[in-house]
């Protein structure tokens, strides 16, 4: 993501009454996670699913402490809240990535039952898009 992308994201934030465009936010979060993964060398995966779960629980504990302060508008708590929410999203994405490697059937079942039903998408083309395969 370059400076123009960041400027467009910030402009969208100011003009969109519902918040950030989710496609742009997802791109920023994926880029952020990739940078963190490069810096930490994939340390989150060393302990498998349990390691991801423990990290998510630590982040959840932080959220439980921060939310009461953040909803009152305490600026420091608001910033920490965003950081913890980003952690939750990134850990969730990492966990889904890990599951797709160790139990791909779980992801495929979710796609069939939830995603394709909710979006009306074709299952086979969704698989091809997500996994880069053609079945």
Please check whether residues 54 and 75 belong to one and the same domain: yes
- Number of structural domains (the chain) is 3
Q: Are residues 36 and 47 in the same domain?
A: no
Q: Do 48 and 29 belong to one domain? A: no
Please indicate, yes or no, whether residues 34 and 63 belong to a single structural domain of this protein. no
3 and 37 inside one domain:
yes
Mean local confidence (pLDDT), 39-43: 80
Spatial CB neighbours of 53, under 8 Å, sequence gap ≥ 6: 95
Q: How confident is the model at residue 66 (pLDDT cuts 50, 70, 90)?
A: very high
The range of the structural domain enclosing residue 76 comes to: 43-102
Same domain flag for 91 and 113: no
Contacts of 127 (CB under 8 A, 6+ apart): 108, 111, 133, 135
Judge whether 78 and 96 are in contact, CB under 8 Å: no
DSSP class per residue in the chain: --HHHHHHHHHHHHH-TT-S-HHHHHHHHHHHHHHHHHHHTTGGGTTHHHHHHHHHHHHHHHHHHHHHHHTTT-HHHHHHHHHHHHHHHHHHHHHHHHHHHH-HHHHHHHIIIIIHHHH---HHHHHHHHHS---
Note whether 58 and 23 are same-domain residues. no
Q: Do 6 and 55 reside in the same domain of the chain? A: no
What pLDDT sits at residue 69?
A: 94
- List Cα–Cα distances, 21 to 12, 24, 53, 99, in angstroms: 7, 5, 28, 27
- Kindly state whether residues 34 and 47 are assigned to the same domain: no
Same domain assignment for residues 61 and 83: yes
The model carries a pTM of 0.75
pLDDT per residue as tens digits for the range 69-126: 998 989 899 889 889 999 999 889 889 888 988 998 998 899 889 999 999 988 888 8
């Amino acid at each position: 993501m370059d400076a123009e992308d960041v400027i467009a994201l910030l402009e969208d934030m100011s003009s969109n009454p519902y918040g950030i465009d989710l496609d742009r936010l997802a791109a920023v979060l994926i880029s952020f996670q990739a940078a963190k993964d490069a810096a930490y060398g994939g340390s989150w995966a060393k302990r498998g699913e349990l390691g991801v779960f423990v990290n998510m629980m630590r982040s959840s504990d932080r959220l439980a402490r921060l939310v009461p302060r953040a909803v009152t508008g305490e600026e420091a708590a608001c910033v920490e809240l965003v950081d913890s929410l980003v952690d939750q999203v990134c850990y969730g994405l990492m966990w889904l990535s890990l599951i797709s490697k160790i139990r791909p059937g779980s992801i495929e079942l979710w796609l069939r039952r939830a995603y394709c039903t909710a979006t009306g998408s074709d299952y086979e083309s969704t698989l091809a898009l997500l996994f880069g395969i053609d079945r």
